[in-house]
Structure 1
Amino acid sequence: VSLVVFCVYSLGRGVVDGMSLLRPTPIARESVPAPKKTSGVNDCGASDVKLSLTAASQGVPVGGSLDFTASISYEGTSSCLLDLSDVVLTVSSGDQTIYSSDSCPADPNRQLLAKTSDMNRTSQKMTWGTSRTGDQCVEDQSKLPKVGRGTYTAQLSLKNAHKAVSDPVTIQVQ
């Protein structure tokens, strides 16, 4: 009798343990920590840089696209690191923001700016596809709604240095 009870008990435990292996195990996900700064060079702030924006043309057809050149000049006193993914192109109509280039996250692209002649300026091309960005990231900008005819203003800024802005550029969508 003891042998039968032991066998039944062992088989029962084996079945219960086997069933628990079939259930999915919850996985806890934690955010990835930011990389540690090891260079000792500070990030560029509003007083370290001057932003300027130029458009390839002053007009663009409805549904077209317009290229901009974003120029960043170094004006600080000690070297600093600038993350080019923090340079934001914003297009607005009156007080309403129509487009913002930071609606989707971008890969970091850190660049050292200093007083030396070859490190005191950088530029990058940015394109506006005459589209409206929304609250959510849409990787394929061709799927965003297009703006209508009108006058729009484009401006450059730094994400974490709100005083660093370029002069506005007026654009006509025709």
Structure 2
Amino acid sequence: MSSSSQRTSNNPRNRRPRRKLSKRQRQIYRRRRIVALIALIVVLALIAFCMYSLGRGMMAIDASIRHDDQMALTRSAVPTPMQQSKVKDCTASDIDLSLQSDSRTVAVGGSMKFTATIKYVPKGKSSCLIDAADDSRVLTIKSGSDTVWRSDVCDVDSRQLLLAVGDTDTQTMTWNTNRTGSSCAEDSTLPKVEAGTYTAQLSMKDHPKIVSNKVTISVG
């Protein structure tokens, strides 16, 4: 190739001129790049959030499994409750109730004291359980067929007795010659009974066949 041809091909005037972008086009390209970068950041953030949520979910499942295993171990470590006592409840053939009064007469508005006795009279040698509280071992005062006073109108604490051969329980009970209602009330607020003849008797609320002798009282 001749030197003249070489000079002709290297002449800057024969090169394709570079395209010059306008200011507006540069702004458009710059905005596109920014939008693409923001989209990329959003996608990466979504991926990171999904990975975080998945990790949290796996941790929660693992914690739940470990908790269930621990609860199972705890339950297995709890000892089996001891078997309750096989002591039987007292029946009519085991118990003898008796009632005595300090006096057979009392003034209107006065007080009468009674002695309530529970005696264990079994045929065998086994023991038995009985509740000897005043709302279980009940003192009842009557005038004819009219029930005047009962010791079980107000609830009291249970008094469980384990009775063996020859055991006797003795308690003092007081009647202030008044009349109980259908609900518990202060003894001082109860109305006094009128002069007359009354009978007193003990009974076991849960065992109707267990009753004491009757005591006749004169109020006057």
So what's the TM-score if we normalise by structure 2?
A: 0.59
The one-letter amino acid of 1:142's match is: S
- Do residues 89 (structure 1) and 139 (structure 2) align? yes
Say if 2:150 is the partner of 1:100: yes
Q: Which residue type is aligned with residue 110 of structure 2?
A: G
- Indicate yes or no: 2:163 matched with 1:113: yes
State the distance in 2 between where 1:39 and 1:67 align.
36
Indicate which of 195, 204, 215 corresponds to 1:149: 195
> Is residue 43 of structure 1 aligned with residue 93 of structure 2?
no
Higher RCO by CA contacts (8 Å cutoff, separation 6 or greater): 1
Unpaired runs of 5+ residues, structure 2, are 1-82
Among 175, 188, 204, the alignment partner of 1:128 is: 175
User: Which is higher, the Rg of structure 1 or of structure 2?
Assistant: 2
Among residues 55, 72, 82, which one is paired with 2:118 in the alignment? 72
* Partner of residue 53 from structure 1, selected from 89, 96, 99: 99
CA-CA distance at 1:39 after TM superposition: 2.6
Supply the RMSD in Å over aligned alpha carbons: 1.2
What is the CA distance between 1:41 and its match in structure 2? 1.2
TM-score normalised by length of structure 1: 0.74
Q: Alpha-carbon deviation of 1:50?
A: 0.5
Aligned amino acid, residue 58 of structure 1: R
CA–CA distance in structure 2, aligned partners of residues 167 and 56 of structure 1: 15
1:142 aligned counterpart, secondary structure: helix
Query: What count of residue pairs does the alignment treat as equivalent?
Result: 134
Give the C-alpha shift of residue 87 in structure 1: 0.6
Separation of aligned partners in 1, 2:143 and 2:118: 24
> What's the offset of the Cα at 1:38?
3.0
Q: Deviations over 1:2-37 (max 9, x none)?
A: xxxxxxxxxxxxxxxxxxxxxxxxxxxxxxxxxxx9
SS of the aligned residue for 1:71 comes to strand
- Provide Cα deviations, 1:105-146, integer angstroms capped at 9, x if missing partner: 11001111111x4xx1111010111111111111x2111111
Structure 1 gap ranges (5+): 1-36
Higher strand residue share: 1
- Residue by residue over 1:55-103, the C-alpha shift from the partner in whole angstroms, topping out at 9 and shown as x without a partner, is 0100111011111000111112321111111110000011111000001
4+ runs of 1 displaced by more than 6 Å? none
